[in-house]
Chains A and B, each alone.
Chain A
Amino acid sequence: MSIFDYFKSTKKDTASVAKERLQIIVAHERSQRAQPDYLPRLQKELLEVIRKYVEIEQDQIDVQLEKNNDCSVLELNIVLPERE
């Protein structure tokens, strides 16, 4: 690290902002890409089934497929509304 880098680091420049934003969006899009094609449909159908019993919103259900070495885990997170 040069002496100039030391002075530069006191103020956050726009290039660093760009890098941070890119790292976040690229990581997010890569994780989406790794998901199988059927997940969005699965999520939609699950939502329909659950809505028969409980009223929930689209964003209150989250379906993820985690891949380990020898098995895959389908993780389903549903946030139920508080009872009135």
Chain B
Amino acid sequence: MAKIIVVTSGKGGVGKTTTSAAISSGLAMRGHKTAVIDFDIGLRNLDIIMNCERRVVYDFVNVINNEAQLHQALIKDKRVENLYILPASQTRDKDALSKNGVERVLNELANDGFEYIICDSPAGIEHGAFMALYFADIAIVVANPEVSSVRDSDRILGILQSKSRKAEEGERVEEFLVLTRYSPERVARGEMLGVEDVEEILATKLLAVIPESESVLKASNQGIPVIHDKDSVAGQAYSDAVARLVGENKEHRFIALESKGIFQRLFGRKG
């Protein structure tokens, strides 16, 4: 059975597409057949983050409208085996995604042997965002340690808990938090919400903390998902996230201030 994972946030610009590209690549690198779908109709960007923007012929809406077959629209990733991208259309009609149409595409992917289907949600809480999360088994809520992002994340969690298919069936979407653009230095100075604070406010299980890193922009400049950059902390943090997602037990990294280690050992560490 395919697992459907939505990457969502409410607020824009927090790293949904970066996270979708990294997580889907990471799952495929582990040998899982994975599809990643761009739900941001009219503002497609997953293609350029994954360096396949010039290979788009058909898109998600073409498949829904039966103007193309699913296999014609899926773009095979050039870096990793087992990874396929379904781009969004550039039409401005954001209501082009029908619930039945989305369900049909997801079922078809599952029948084709895809193990993971990653749904990259648009920002906001309108139709596209709702369609991206409706069929999800798992939700990855991406947030920055910043008040508007955390507040919007809580609204998205509320929608997942009341409006998703799982919720309608009396079940629960499994929710995870990915906290991006994290700066342990600023947290230590009391200038940024700490990961424990955000976890406490949202009452959601932490999947990963992605530290603020120059490698994220460098990766998107080149269209290489940052998880391929094994030397970067952001890449490593996403690798950990994927490991936890498939059930491995990995201790969280990149949360504490590195240079503070010695002091923590002397004064602070408990147990």
Contact = CB atoms under 8 A, between A and B. Distances in A.
Contacts of A41: none
A8 interface: yes
B261 interface: no
A33 B197 CA distance: 22
A25 interface: yes
A28 B112 CA distance: 45
A18 B151 CA distance: 11
Contacts of B155: 29
A52 interface: no
Contacts of A30: 154, 158
Interface residues of B, number: 22
Contacts of A21: 147
Contacts of B267: 2-4
Contacts, number: 53
Contact of B154 (A5, A13, A15, A29): A29
Contact of B268 (A4, A14, A25, A29): A4
Contacts of B213: none
Interface string A9-39: 0000111101101110110011001000000
Between A2, A18, A23, A25, the greatest number of chain B beta carbons within 10 A of the residue's beta carbon is seen for A18
Interface string B210-234: 0000000000000000000000000
Given A4-B263, A4-B267, A26-B201, A15 B151 contact: no
Contacts of B146: 18
Interface in B23-77: none
Contacts of B191: 13-15
6 contacts: A2-B263, A3-B267, A13-B190, A19-B201, A22-B150, A30-B154
Interface of B: 146-147, 150-151, 154-155, 158, 162, 187, 189-194, 197, 201-202, 263-264, 267-268
Q: Which 3 pairs from chain A and chain B are nearest by CB?
A: A13-B190, A2-B268, A2-B267
